[in-house]
Amino acid sequence: MPELRVTGSCYYACSPVPAFRTSSEQATIAFGESFGRLLPRRHTVLLIGNLGAGKTTLAKGIVNGLGAAPPDEVSSPTFTLIHEYGNGRVYHVDLYRLEKLCEVATLGLDEIFEREAVVLLEWAERFPEILPRERSEIRIRAVGDEEREIEVTELR
C-alpha 24/C-alpha 30 separation (Å) is 10
**pLDDT above 70 for 31:** yes
Residue 81 sits in a domain whose CATH number is 3.40.50.300
Q: Which domain holds residue 18?
A: 4-155
At 10, is the pLDDT very low, low, confident or very high (cuts 50, 70, 90)? very low
What is the structure's pLDDT at 91?
98
**Using CA atoms, how far apart are residues 17 and 14, in angstroms rounded to an integer?**
9
- Tell me what percent of the residues of the chain surpass a pLDDT of 90: 84
The whole-chain average pLDDT of the chain stands at 89
Residue 84, CA distances (Å) to 1, 13, 54, 129 in order: 29, 28, 19, 23
Confidence of residue 6 (pLDDT cuts 50, 70, 90): very low
Total structural domains in the chain?
1
The yes-or-no verdict on residue 3 having pLDDT over 80 is: no
pLDDT at residue 11 is higher than 80: no
